[in-house]
Structure 1
Amino acid sequence: MGFWSKIFKSDNTRNVEKLEKIAKKVEDLQDKYRVYSDEDLKNTTTVLKERLANGEKTIDILPDAFACVREASSRVIGKRHYHVQILGGIALFQGRIAEMKTGEGKTLVETLPAYLVALEGKGVHIVTVNEYLSTRDAEWMGKIFKFLGLTVGINTHDMTPDKKKEAYACDITYSTNNELGFDYLRDNMVMRPEDRVARGYHFAIIDEVDSILIDEARTPLIISGKGMKSSEEYKKASRFAKSLKPTDYEIDEKEKAIRLNENGIAKAERYFAVENLSDINNIELNHYINNALKAQYIMLKDNNYIVKDGEVVIVDEFTGRLMEGRKYSNGLHQAIEAKEGLEVRDENKTLATITFQNFFRIYDKISGMTGTAKTEETEFNKIYNLDVVTIPTNKPVRRIDWTDIIYPTEKAKINAIVEEVKKVHAEGRPVLVGTITIEKSEEISKELSKAKIKHNVLNAKNHQKESMIIAQAGRLGQVTIATNMAGRGTDIMLGGNPEYLAKQKMQELGYTDEQIEFCTSYLPSESPELEKAREKYKKFYKEFEQVTEDEKQKVIQLGGLHIVGTERHESRRIDNQLRGRAGRQGDPGSSVFFVSMEDELMRRFGGDKLQGVVRFFKISDDTAFTLKFLARQIEAAQRRIEGFNFSARHTVLKFDDVNNQQRKEIYKERNRVLDGANVHDEVLDMIAEFARNTVLDSLDGVESFEEWNIEKINNSLNNRVLPADANYVTSDMCEGLEAQELADKVAQKAQEVYEEKCNALNAIKIDSQRIEREILLRVVDSLWRDHIDFMEILRGEIGLRAYGNHDPLIAYKEESSRAYEEMIGRVREETAMFLLNFKVQIERTVPVQVTKKELTPEDIAKIRKIAEEKIKEQNGNKSPNNPKAQNDLNNLMKAPTSIDMVTNMTENSQAKTKGKVVGRNEPCPCGSGKKYKNCCGRNAK
């Protein structure tokens, strides 16, 4: 450390020094917990929970909790946390991002804060980028938690809701970010509170936090339903796009956007036989054409997506990982299907959506780990309010990072990469070739095969298999090609990984994954077979440990793992991740990037300027060169793109924040209703408002009561606000009234009619408040989905406002707010209308079901008798002939309808009743075989 560095310490140095003080308290307790018996260690969990219950804060018990986990880990999996791992654990507990280099044991680090916060009893979510890592870490680290008496769950996409609920109920839950987000959205779509699976969002520890919070931030999670059928339109637009020439369109490579120029517009007007493509009537046609253009000329196969089993699967542009189950929105996915000649599936209607940016801000506290976070510190801080702390390495880094080697052409670069691999491979050193895209990895593989170099290719398609392969990528003479994400989360150990090799041997002998996992633990067992399997595993492990240790020493002598980058990524962070796979835990290693002037990064930023340098120095196509000036240009280009991407993500967030505020309000109210809130008074207000508006609308602004059209007023109210034959408003009633006074009278009458209906329902044990909640929820869900659709369309079109010198964000806020208020108004109106106009039908348990209108006189007498008995029960076994009981009965028998509440009645007087909503397109309950809207519901409003 230099003289000035000692005086002016960096923020990171000061942060680490504070962590060091707490870590010392943890290490000072090591001897105390070392002498504990296993039972004493397990009882520590109860003791620490009691300390919290007695008023101590979580930070107060941190030293004991961490020390307890360290000792338990040592006994259960044979690993005790290093000093730097304790530092990382403290940073995570504090709600920070711990930047820890590859190989520093981040998976073990998370056990410290996870155990501590789990003692609060509110649940901890450990988030990984794929389900293989979730399962692996839950089984591996879960042994520690279970030993200490905590429960551990794994949340995967193929679980039933009941199994998910069990996983979320555990003290610690392992899950992917996608599954957490989708569960959150699904929980806010259920119709019964018991169908929700998550119990809350208290504390999340995010592994590979940069991948989840940065790389995936612009891609929203979307739950979709069936939408429009438009396959022919997409196919026709695709054929048009393929017919174009480069002179018909313009591409902005920086923005990754495409648009037709004048030639292209003229061709489109001829092709689709329209006079003016810009006409408002051709908005939908423009939608198809724009998507077809982007699919044809911007979205590249094996780069942006792959075709797998007849389906388009998105490839994450930053990580190279396949995004199974995700689809491009707004018709782009269908346009790509048309381009590839696949079946064009129906467009999806968005039912619920959220970005990861807003999802993870739901948690009370989040933290994360990664090997590369410092370059994105500003974004982490500005968007998520997360600080980044760089944790020192356990051993000094010995990796050598060579200067980039630059070639004028792509062909010369590929040839040089093959020669580099051939040279290093001949020395016996392991080589990892990193690529940005699947297409590039396959191209390199083809060239290595021509050179007769044996190698493995990993494209992030099979996480479990690829983790096994990547774990052995450090063995003598091993050559591995991998996209950015392939095998991420698995260390490359020089000489190979003895644990993976021993597990592989056990699999070959037919042992199950569960048996093998037991073999790797230190937990006792009463099963002789399991103990025998463990002995066998230990024998294999010892044999492979010797083999890999011998190999490791040879690889170290040769210089360690050599990393070859095939081009620079847009983000320096991704490049640093690739470099970081070599030189783990003080091992030697090296890295070098090969770059060509034809690489996308070079073309998009400064290509002409750099080509000018090549021409000035008269550099031939196959000549390599390294210039500090060019290295600075490359880094400057990366910084510009990082700035552009941050700006784009920040813009996405600003717009989604508008949606998010509305989403939070809707979900909050929805959950309040779902949890059984009494909304009866609110419903009465809605009914009064609906009635008043109906009256005032029917008056057409006429103020004088003498000029009011009484027939028109009643027609507006009958079968909508009041019963079909009510004709409530009369000339005598209106005399001397003002419009508002008449509206108030009708509102009061509507409330009285509705109250009578509720009393009648309650009299036969149909819960009217449950019906209110159910109808309110269904109306909210339907209109909220329509609102989401509107917001998506608005977001797509709002950019045009910039041409009129309007701030698109301000315009979006204003219009979305207006639309939201209109939606709330419609929720109130439709809820009132549905509740005023539902009727009770009788659904009998005998095969034939009949509505009230088709009942025989005998059936009516029987039903009346049963209803009388029910009302008699409600009146304390008094005669149903009193006025109130008769009124309830009469109201029940004549209630108007548009949503049908069906009562199941058995053939005897002990029948049970329950409510059921009959949709307009469902089979009619009368048994006719027709749809309800074409049968008994024909006259329903």
Structure 2
Amino acid sequence: IRAVANDEVEEAREVISQVPGLEEAQLERILGIFKDTQEVSHQVRQAGGLHVVGSERHESRRIDNQLRGRAARQGDPGSSRFFLSFEDELMLRFGGERLKRFTNSNILPDDVPIDFAMVGRIIESAQERIEGYNFDIRKNVVEYDDVMDKQRKAVYAERKQIVMGNTDALDEKIDQAFAQNISELVHNYRENYVGFIRAEVERAVMQFTTDATDEVLLPPVLRRLRGFLPGIAELDPDELAELRPDRLIERLSKLAHENIEDGTNLYQLLRATSRFIPLMPSVPNIAVQLASRRSGHLQAKENIKLEFVTGVRAVFDKFLSNFAEDADLESIWQHAENQIDQAFAEFNAERQSSEGLRRQQEEFRQTVAGALNDLLQDSLSALPSDSLVEALQTYVASEREVWRERMGEEKFQRIQRLILLTAIDREWQDYLTAMDDLRREIRLEAVAQRDPKVEYKRRSFQMFQNMRANIDEAVAQRYFVDLQNHQTVLAREESFAAVREQLSQAGYQVVQRQNGKGAELRRDAPKVGRNDPCPCGSGKKYKHCHMKQDEAARRGRAPGAAGRQKAATGKKKGRRK
């Protein structure tokens, strides 16, 4: 085809002779089509080429120029002409009234087209204004999207760093999350406790205050602040209900000083820290451990106490050994140890009913938990704020190494990645939803004479910082809990895999049921009776053929079979002696 278009027929014939499947008739058809095309092209040129008639002008000059360009491609002849109406959208928005006044002043017949240069300039001016308006819209959209684009790049870069990072990078992320939360807790409950409580009081009062009447809904305020201010229960609700919001804030904020005097702030710090850092081992359930024993309760209780006290002492030394004086440590520990010894001594499981054991266990748990709380609270009060932050961070790092050694490096890294990525993905999804809401509402800032774009950037930055803080908080809050949960799941899977292996060696397989609920055991081969024909096809009974070999093979595959066989052989030899 290219050769025919270039008027090189001989070259086209040579191509046909060299390429299998091409025939001379195809060349003749192409020559005929090319000849007809040339004749039609000649007729079109004589007619003046392609004439484009436009029924309206577009908002953009670029679109009109593209339509005009269809009339004269590559130097071909052609023309274009546009016919407009005063009722067109472009004319109604820009210049329509001006042109109407002009035509009315120059009384023209209705069938005479208006063809003046001024009309073209008015239309082009209208198109320029619309193009500028559309450009401002696109620019405005880009400015809004640019904020999210930068934040999206930052989040995705952090995710990539977690996915591709090594052990040091993951540990650094975890340390950063714990450091942020520990520093914030110590600052709020020790350095700035009064300001922290006042901020919580203001937030609660403002949330439950009616703007129209300036009336405070007191019951929800008291319920929300009960955990921060235990002394709030001693105040008269009727007296508080008569106070205005500002006076109520002042009255409730004074309770923070009472919390500092009686050490409630340290107890609250301990409770907040214990939510995400396992500072002490759990209290043992003596009733359950002794209920299965008929005798030896005293010795068993002593063993439980020794194990529990040893664990508590190890945690206590790990937490404070490098940050407090030895004399202070011994004084704090001796007081807690005496309380624990007394609780164990008062527990008596002899001749007790199940209800009596349950009641004693509850009293024992409360006593020991109180002793542990006193121990930790005294430990917190013995350290300055900087040393306390460092001690908590060191303890978290040591506990992390314990989990690393227990689970193995590969599994531990995988779980750390999962914890970090889960926190980031959850908070990022919530953040995207909040940003969509903000973008719909931010235009109302113009009513208050504020630039919506400036307010959008400012508030999105604050929301992004809050999201980063929420990610660190989620990682710290869930870290040790998820490690324990994953360890439980892995142990269950390993136990199930061991059972499957034993069943497989015994000639069974575990098959998941079709409805997805539970599993069932199936034999790898159908069961053969002693007197049935042997599956090998020999015609003999199974007991006279391969039964002994199959039983020996099953015994050999069973765990501990070799050890049992050797032991049995040793016993027989001993009897012969």
TM-score, normalized by length of structure 2?
A: 0.51
Q: 1:689 is matched with which residue?
A: 180
Q: Does 1:592 align with 2:81?
A: yes
C-alpha separation between the residues in 2 aligned to 1:612 and 1:736?
A: 91
- CA positional deviation for 1:672: 2.6
Q: Which moved more, 1:601-610 or 1:541-550?
A: 541-550
Give the match for residue 491 of structure 1. Answer: none
Give the corresponding residue for 1:630: 119
**Which residue is equivalent to 1:734?**
380
Counterpart check, 1:583 vs 2:72: yes
Of 501, 505, 512, which residue of structure 2 is paired with 1:908?
A: 501
CA contact (8 A) 1:679 1:773 kept: yes
Counterpart of 2:130 in structure 1 is 641
- DSSP-derived class of the 1:908 partner: helix
Deviation at 1:556, TM superposition (A): 1.0
1:662 aligned to 2:218?
Answer: no
Give the Å deviation of 1:623.
4.2
1:564 and 1:591 in contact (8 A); partners too: yes
- State the alpha-carbon separation in 2 of the partners of residues 667 and 804 from structure 1: 35
- How big is the shift at 1:616? 2.4
For residues 523 and 793 of structure 1, the distance between their equivalents in structure 2, rounded to whole angstroms, comes to: 67
The yes-or-no answer on 1:782 pairing with 2:426 is yes
Kindly indicate whether the alpha-carbon contact (under 8 Å) linking 1:691 and 1:743 is maintained by their aligned counterparts in 2.
yes
CA drift at 1:534: 8.7
Pairing of 1:231-246 with structure 2 (within 5 A): none
1:680 maps to which residue? Answer: 171
CA drift of 1:600 comes to: 0.6
Contact 2:162–2:417 at 8 Å: present in 1 too? yes
Identity of matched residues, %: 31
- Shift of residue 851, structure 1, vs aligned partner: 5.8
Task: Trace 1:552-631 onto structure 2 (pairs within 5 A).
Answer: 552-619=41-108, 621-631=110-120
Distance across 1 between alignment mates of 2:272 and 2:17: 77
The 1:769–1:852 alpha-carbon spacing in structure 2 relative to 1, beyond 3 Å, is closer
What is the one-letter code of the residue matched to 2:500?
Answer: E
Which residues of 2 match residues 44-63 of structure 1 at below 5 A? none
Q: Distance in 2 between matches of 1:744 and 1:588?
A: 85
Structure 1 residues 851 and 777 mapped into 2: Cα distance closer, same or farther (>3 Å)? closer
Cα offsets for 1:702-761 (capped at 9, x unmatched): 795861355544433345332795567623312333345434333332332233223322
Equivalent residue number for residue 401 of structure 2: 755
1:717 equivalenced with 2:273 (yes/no): yes
Distance 2:499 2:35 in 1: 77
Change in Cα spacing, 1:799 to 1:832, as seen in structure 2 (3 Å) is same
Please show how residues 204-603 of structure 1 align to structure 2 within 5 Å: 531-532=20-21, 540-603=29-92
1:799 aligns with 2:454: no
What is the alpha-carbon distance in structure 1 between the residues aligned to residue 464 and residue 15 of structure 2? 57
Tell me which amino acid in the other structure corresponds to 1:758. Answer: R
In structure 2, how many angstroms separate the alpha carbons of the residues matched to 1:547 and 1:597? 44
The change in CA–CA distance for 1:653 and 1:842 in structure 2 (over 3 A counts) is closer
Maintained 8 Å contact 1:569/1:575: yes
- The alignment status of 1:809 with 2:453, answered yes or no, reads yes
Secondary structure in 2 aligned to 1:907? helix
Residues 1:761 and 1:698: Cα distance change in structure 2 (over 3 Å):
farther
Q: Report the AA paired with residue 470 of structure 2.
A: R
Displacement of 1:565 in angstroms is 1.3
What is the CA deviation profile of residues 459-514 of structure 1, one whole-angstrom value per residue up to 9, with x for unaligned ones?
Answer: xxxxxxxxxxxxxxxxxxxxxxxxxxxxxxxxxxxxxxx9xxxxxxxxxxxxxxxx
Shift of 1:620: 5.3
Seen in structure 2, the aligned counterparts of structure 1 residues 535 and 753 have a Cα distance that, compared at 3 Å, is farther
Could you tell me whether the CA contact under 8 Å between 2:54 and 2:83 is conserved in 1?
yes
| Alignment root-mean-square deviation, CA | 4.1
- What SS does the aligned partner of 1:626 have? coil
Determine the C-alpha separation between the residues in 1 that align with 2:32 and 2:502: 78
Q: Distance in 2 between matches of 1:741 and 1:927?
A: 53
What code does the residue aligned with 1:769 have? Q
Provide the secondary structure at the position in 2 that maps to 1:585: helix
How far off its partner does 1:559 sit? 0.8
The answer as to whether partners of 1:692 and 1:747 remain within 8 angstroms in 2 is: no
Taking a change above 3 Å as real, the CA distance of residues 543 and 824 of structure 1, as seen in their structure-2 partners, is farther
Deviations 1:171-201 (A, max 9, x none): xxxxxxxxxxxxxxxxxxxxxxxxxxxxxxx
Change in Cα spacing, 1:537 to 1:778, as seen in structure 2 (3 Å) is farther
Amino acid at match of 1:823: M
Equivalent-residue separation in structure 2 for 1:686 and 1:752 (angstroms)? 16
Could you say which residue in structure 2 is the equivalent of 1:773?
417
Equivalent of 1:745, from 366, 372, 391? Answer: 391
Q: Secondary structure at the match of 1:720?
A: coil
Q: What is the CA–CA distance in structure 1 between the aligned matches of 2:181 and 2:503, rounded to whole Å?
A: 39
Larger RCO (CA within 8 A; separation ≥ 6): 2
Give the secondary structure class of the aligned counterpart of 2:501: coil
The separation in 1 between residues aligned to 2:17 and 2:437, in whole angstroms, is 60
Give the match for residue 475 of structure 2.
831
**Distance (Å, rounded) in 2 between the aligned partners of 1:825 and 1:538:** 75
Three-state SS of the structure 1 residue aligned to 2:52 is strand
Aligned length: 343
2:85 alignment partner AA: S
Q: Deviations over 1:820-850 (max 9, x none)?
A: 111111122212323322145689xxxxxx9
| Contact 1:561–1:583, Cα closer than 8 Å, also in 2 | yes
The residue type equivalent to 1:732 in the other structure is D
User: CA 1:643–1:904 in structure 2 vs 1: closer, same or farther (change >3 Å)?
Assistant: farther
Quick one: which amino acid aligns to residue 429 of structure 2? R
Distance 1:546 1:852, change over 3 A: closer
- Which stretches in structure 2 are left out of the alignment for 5+ residues? 6-11, 195-255, 283-371, 505-515, 520-577
Deviations 1:632-663, CA, capped at 9 Å, x for gaps: 11111011111112222222222322222222
Listed one character per residue, the Cα deviations across residues 142-167 of structure 1 (whole Å, up to 9, x for unaligned) are: xxxxxxxxxxxxxxxxxxxxxxxxxx
* Matched letter for residue 553 of structure 1: H
Q: Structure 1: which 5+ residue stretches go unaligned?
A: 1-76, 80-497, 499-519, 844-849, 864-902, 912-924, 929-941
Aligned AA (1:791): M
Over 3 Å counting, the alpha-carbon distance change for 1:910 and 1:616 in structure 2 is: farther
TM-score between the two structures when normalised by the length of structure 1: 0.33
Aligned to 2:304: none
What amino acid maps onto 2:415 in structure 1?
I
User: Structure 1 908/655 Cα, relative in aligned 2: closer, same or farther at 3 Å?
Assistant: same
Per-residue deviation at 1:605? 1.1
Alpha carbons of 1:643 and 1:571: their partners in 2 closer, same or farther (altered >3 Å)?
Answer: same
- 1:578–1:749 Cα change, 3 Å: same
Structure 2 Cα separation of the partners of residues 749 and 852 of structure 1: 25
Residues 641 and 852 (structure 1), Cα distance of their counterparts in 2 relative to 1, 3 Å cut: closer
What CA deviation, in whole Å up to 9, does each residue of 1:733-792 have, x standing for no partner?
Answer: 1233334543433333233223322332216x52x2233223323322332233233333
